[in-house]
Each structure stands twice: as C-alpha cells, then as structure tokens.
Structure 1
Amino acid sequence: MRGLKKAAENKSALITGGAVAAMAAAAGLLLAGCSGSSEGVRKEGPAQTQSAAKATRIPSASATPVQEKVDAVKLIKNDPKVSDQIKKNLKPCTKDQYPVDVIYGNLTGGPRPDVVVNILTCGDSFGVGSYVYRAKDESGDAYENVFAAEQSPVYADIDRKDLQITRQVYAPGDAVCCPSGQDVLTYQWANDDFKETGRTHTDYSKVGNTGKVPSTGTEG
C-alpha cells in the first residue's frame, strides 16, 4: 500500500530494541531529504502536473469528488496538533511538488467533504503522518483537525464512511524492508469523535523472503 512502502528493499537492517524511535528518526531524515530529490512524489498511474499539495487520487467508490481543492500543506503548517518535526521536514521534493496525498470523502457528516491528508517521504513514499480535517462551515474557509496519527509507517484511507488506518508491524529480527505483518484499524465518527470499531491483523509469509536476515547458526 502507498505510504507503507518498504523503506530499504536492498538493506538488511534489523529491528531490535528501540525500533519505534529509530524508525521515527529514520522517517524524519527521509522526509527532510525531500528538497534534494529529483524524482518528486511517486504516484501510481499517470504523472501529475499540479502540485501534490492540491492533487487528489483518482476517487474510489467511497471517495467524494469535489471541484474545490484544499491547500493541504497550508492546513498542516498552520495546525497546532501536527508535530513540529513533521512541519519542519515537510518540504517540496522538487519545485512545488510536496509529498502529500489528499483524499476527500464523507466521514463525519460535516457541511463539506472531509479531507484526509497523508504526509509521505519523497524517495520511498513512506507514510510519516496521517490526519483528518473537518470543515467548520459550508464555506470551507476553515477546517479543524479531528484525527491525527504520527507513528510511522502509517497511511489513512476512506472505506465507504469508515476511516481506515494501516500500520506495518515489525518483529525482532525483521529487516526494515520486510515487516512481519500489518494492522488495519477501522474508525467511525460518533459523538464528535472517531471511535475504533474494528481491527484486523495479517501475518506475512516468510517463504521466499530474501529480505529476512538468517538467524545465528542458519545457513544463508
């Protein structure tokens, strides 16, 4: 899934103690290096000619097409709920191309479509932050942050009227490229807040996984 791409497919780094802090730091370094990238934002499908800060994916069956785009970068930069590190490292990958995915849909029943913003790294599309913004009125001049997830790797999406958060799971001994599994958390809007309504976990097969570093005493 986009935003959860394998950060180092040709490396064999191990996930050991302090893995969460190390991965967060690595994600920060990757994002900080965006301004020097010549690749820009990596997107599936046709190349985009507009700024990624205002671009949207091809709408899925659960997304809501809209004509007026939201300046997602401005939302992030002006949002006190977004960490200072995310704001500091959010820079264009090339010219005005920001590593930002924007999804529009109906999650909260607000006066306008809600806005899901995913912050990625330039080179690997590694998800470092996911946010949901709700319009305060029909004008769309002001939005409020109603959900935030900054434990990377993370990616938010809309499934019908549900918010889905996807995280990769690493076990001790996993290479950075090859997590052991994946968690998908489902949230629904109720009483002015998102409530978790479901969770699924997938264990990935290690058969043929060359990114897995053999344990001590095992022939490579």
Structure 2
Amino acid sequence: MRGLTDEEPTAARGVYQAAITAVAVIAALGLFVAACATGGTGARDEGPAHSDSVAGAVASPAPNPSDTYQQVDAVALVRSDPRVSTAVKRYLKPCAGDEYPVDVSYGDLTGGPVEDIVVNVLTCADAVGVGSYVYREEGGAYENVFKAEESPVYAEIDRGDLMVTKQVYDKGDPVSSPSGENVYTYSWTAGRFVQEDYHHTDYSNAVGGDPSPVPSG
C-alpha cells in the first residue's frame, strides 16, 4: 500500500508538468502567429504611405495632348473664310469619293490655348499647292492669321516655326520638275508672323554642292 501511495503523487506531478508544457507550447504558438499577423499588417500599412509620399512629390501631371488638340473640318473652315480667294475656293471639291485636296496639320505656332491649324489647298491632278493658311483659336473661334496664295506654295510646321515653300519654274518647266524653290521661315512675334529666314535652292546646281542663298532684297 505504501508503494502505491508513493507512486500516486509522482504520477500526478508528471501529468501536471505535461499539462504545463502543453499550455506553454500553445501559448508560444499563439504568440508566434500573432507576431506574424502583426508584422504582415504593418508591411501593408507602410506600402500606401510610401506611395502617397512619392505621389506628393510630383508637382503636376503630364499634359494631355487632347487638352490642346481640337480636330476641325478644314474644308468648311476654308470655305467660310472671307480672306480666302474665290479662285482657291474653286478647288475645294472632292477629287475622288469624299476626299478633298487639302493637307491639314496641327501644332503650336502662336502659343494659343489650343494647337494652331495649317491648311494647304492643292490641285487634284498634280497636288500643286494653290493656297496655304494658318488658323489660330481665339475666343472659341478660329481666326486666319496667315495666308499665301502665290501658287505653287506649301506651308508646314518646323520646330515651332512656320515654313513656307514656293516652287520656282523657268519657262518650259513641267509641273513635276521645278527649277528650284524658295523657302521662307516665319515666327510668331507681337501678334503676327514675321519672316526670320529665307533661302533659295537651285535644283540644277544641287548635284554639284550646296547652292548659295539668294538675298531676300
């Protein structure tokens, strides 16, 4: 009986110690899971805060091209323009189907609120320029701020300047083979286009080297 009595406390102590060990393991596991969950949440919380600080460093969004570009009906614009000669308006007829003999380009020439419009009216048969115009938006309407109707002529935008090319024909030259060209460069100054440069190219001398510019007089 004594032996049995001595073994009972020992067994009881073993069971008690095992229970304590189990509780300790469970508690440790719970702390580990909680620590992982807390760490994960912390990482996610820091992400947006970092993004916000980067976004706050950006001064302004990149300009949207659609804010300054407005497509227009160039044919209707030229037809309704009183500054365009009647002779040029006669060419505003479809060449084939609904295709009109006009070339249209958009760009910043005058520093206006929206992009300026350069319109070239051509012939259907030979695509020779008969009129070139620049339109600038002012007060919700487009105003003609430049015109050149000395055919053959063609205008285009060159690095923010207006470049106007006029073909030169000697007597007997076919339309497809001019003898040379005059190129005029204009910049927008004090509310109007001012000629800044001029040069002449003689095609007959082009093979031998760069021709010498002809003074504008």
Residue 59 of structure 1 aligns with which residue? none
State the SS of the aligned residue for 2:81: coil
Residue 204 of structure 1 aligns with which residue?
203
Identify the residue that residue 75 of structure 1 maps to in structure 2.
77
Query: Counterpart of 2:110 in structure 1: which amino acid?
Result: T
Give 1:169 shift.
1.0
Q: What displacement does 1:177 show?
A: 3.4
What is the match of residue 184 of structure 1?
A: 183
Q: Pick the aligned partner of 1:118 from 120, 125, 150.
A: 120
**1:99-114 map, 5 Å:** 99-114=101-116
Partner of 2:97: 95
Aligned-residue offset at 1:173: 4.5
% identical aligned pairs: 57
Deviation, structure 1 residue 88: 2.6
The aligned amino acid for 1:163 is: L
Q: Secondary structure of 2:166's partner?
A: strand
Offset at 1:179?
1.9
TM-score of the aligned structures, taking structure 2 as reference length: 0.61
The SS at the match of 1:199 is strand
Quick one: which amino acid aligns to residue 104 of structure 1?
Answer: Y
Match of 1:110, SS state, is: coil
Partner Cα separation in structure 2 for residue 183 and residue 109 of structure 1: 26
Deviations 1:137-191 (A, max 9, x none): 3xxx410000000111100000011000001112344344322211110000001
Q: Distance in 2 between the 1:96 and 1:134 partners?
A: 26
Corresponding residue number in structure 1 for 2:142: 143
Structure 1 gaps, min length 5: 1-63, 209-220
Q: How many residues align?
A: 142
Aligned equivalents of 1:171 and 1:153: distance in 2? 13
Change (3 A) 1:151 1:207: closer
Q: Post-superposition shift, 1:94?
A: 2.1
Pair 1:207–1:198, CA change in 2 (3 A): closer
**d(CA) in 2 for partners of 1:121 and 1:72?**
16
Asked whether the 8 Å contact 2:135–2:144 carries over to 1, the reply is yes
The structure having more radius of gyration, on CA atoms, is: 2
Larger mean Cα displacement after TM superposition, 170-179 or 144-153: 170-179
Q: Which residue of 2 aligns with 1:165?
A: 164
CA RMSD of superposed structures (Å): 2.1
**Shift of the alpha carbon at 1:67?**
5.4
Distance 2:76 2:202 in 1: 38
Alignment match, 2:210: none
Cα distance between partner residues in 2 of 1:87 and 1:175: 24
- The reply to whether residue 130 of structure 1 matches residue 132 of structure 2 is yes
Deviation at 1:205, TM superposition (A): 2.2
Residue aligning to 1:35:
none
In 1, the alpha carbon distance for the partners of 2:206 and 2:79 equals 43
